Structure formats: structure tokens, C-alpha cells
Amino acid sequence: MGRLQGKRTIITGAGSGIGRATSKAFAREGASILCVDKTDAVHETVEAILAAGGHAIGMTADVGVEAEVIAYVDRAIAEFGGLDIIYANAGISGGMVPFFDQTVDYWNEILRVNLIGPFLAIKHVAPHLIKQGKGSIICTASVAGIRANAGGSPYSASKAGVISLVQTSSNAFYGTGVRVNAVCPGLIETGMTKPIFDNARARGNEDKIGQLNPMGRYGEPEEIANMVLFLASDEASYVNGQAFPVDGGLTSTLPFVKPRTS
């Protein structure tokens, strides 16, 4: 029996990176998954899961539009007969626009996807979980929501908001059996971080990517998926209202000079 055997799930941002890795991990552990993404790449994720013998369906949606969130929740319930887990993972970085060049529209779009998106997911999934007396909601925050210099101002603010949303919503669901947690990735190689990796490799500095954490390296999407899998599973039955950094130890440190090894 898999750790998520029989669990009915939704994963947003499933078309690539962390969302795709988590979708595959959930499928291997026996979950049925509605994979949601804004791009058609979500169907490639579904095809990979089906080829491996898993159970998944795909759907395109904009997670920051309430009508489309309602549609993906309704689709999952119609297909699976109910819901047990949602991983609200979809997000955008917005790039590194200098502070005084940032506009209200720029902020609005990042907040719409990164913070309003998880809020809408929680709003429309939680009533179904509350009705059955249990369920797990996981959101993707970021180390950028914990400390400065891991992302641009609006991105960091949006992820700090996700951490607060997880704390406040878990308390709003007091006594219902519904758990809400977040994972805070460090530097992970995904489509979102591709420019960072491409620039470092072009300069010949690939070996320095991730050097500021005690592990001395960057992370892989599967390493985030492993934490999400735990939070989704019954193994985390007493874990609630928390935001977990998965960052090689980055947020455990103050700025430092890398020690010499010789």
C-alpha cells in the first residue's frame, strides 16, 4: 500500500518543476491526481504518470481567477467522488525588476497568482474537507518569505503572505481535522529559476550555485516533493499551521564568507 493509497488530490503548477515532481511522487504512492497548470505542459505530466501506471487527469486553469479555481475543484470532485488533499503550488517569480521600476500592476499580478491563488484554493477546497472531518492542504511558500535577498520585493512579500495564510487558515479551521501547512523551497532548479542557472553556467560558475547554504549545493524538485508527500500523508497527522524550509540550511545561517578548505 502506498502512503497516499486511495487519496484524491489536486496539484497546481503541475506542468513543470516542483509541481511535476510532486505529481509523479503522489502517483507512485497511490493517489489519484488532478494536475492543474496554466500551460498545456500539464498534459505531459499526466502522460508520464499514466505511462508509469498511475492515475491522473489534466486541466488548464489560471489559479488566480476564482471561476477557474471553482472549475478545477468541481472537476476533481466529479472525477474522484471527493477530495482529500490539495497542493497549491502554482506561482510566478516576476523577475528581478529594480525596486523603483516596479509598478502597481506588476505587484498586483504577482500577488494575484502567488497569494490570491492559494487563498482561493483553500477557500474552495476546505469546505469539502471539513465536511468529511479531515484533509491536508499544502501551499508553496519560499525562503524568500522568511528572509530578504532570495527574490524580488513583490515575490518575497507574496510568499510571506502565504506563510501567514497557512497560519491563519489553520486556526480558522480549528477543530475540523483539516490541516494546512507550507513548504518553503530554497534554490531549486526549475523553469522559474532557469535564468539564474543559465547565467551561472554561461559564466562558468555552476559550482557556486547554492554555495551559501551548509549543504553547499542547490536542490532538486524531487527533494521538495518528498516534503510535500510527508505533509500530505497521514504520517503528518499532527503537523498543522507550519511552514517548513527545504533549503539545505540556508535560513539557519547569517551571511558568511565561505571558509577556505586549504
Q: Which of the pair, 192 or 55, is modelled with greater confidence?
A: 55
Please confirm, yes or no, whether 155 is among the known catalytic residues: yes
Q: What is the rounded average pLDDT of the residues 90-102?
A: 93
pTM equals 0.93
**Structural domain of residue 80, as residue ranges?**
8-190+218-247
Residue 133 lies in a domain: yes
Residue 253 lies in a domain: no
Q: What is the reported pLDDT for 194?
A: 61
Q: What is the mean pLDDT of the chain?
A: 93
Domain count, the chain: 1
CATH number at residue 74: 3.40.50.720
Q: What is the reported pLDDT for 257?
A: 67
pLDDT digits (tens, 9 = 90+) for 184-232: 999 887 766 666 666 666 676 666 666 778 888 889 999 999 999 999 9
Q: What is the rounded average pLDDT of the residues 237-252?
A: 95
Catalytic choice (72, 87, 106, 155): 155
Nine cell digits for residue 211: 554555495
Residue 86 lies in a domain: yes
C-alpha 207 chain-centroid distance: 26
Residue 1 lies in a domain: no
Rounded to whole angstroms, the Cα distance separating 114 from 64 reads: 8
Residue 231 lies in a domain: yes
Main-chain dihedrals φ then ψ at residue 38, nearest 5 degrees: -75, -20
Q: What is the reported pLDDT for 213?
A: 84
pLDDT tops 90 at residue 176: yes
Residue 262 lies in a domain: no
Q: What is the reported pLDDT for 195?
A: 65
Residue 197 lies in a domain: no
Residue 255 lies in a domain: no
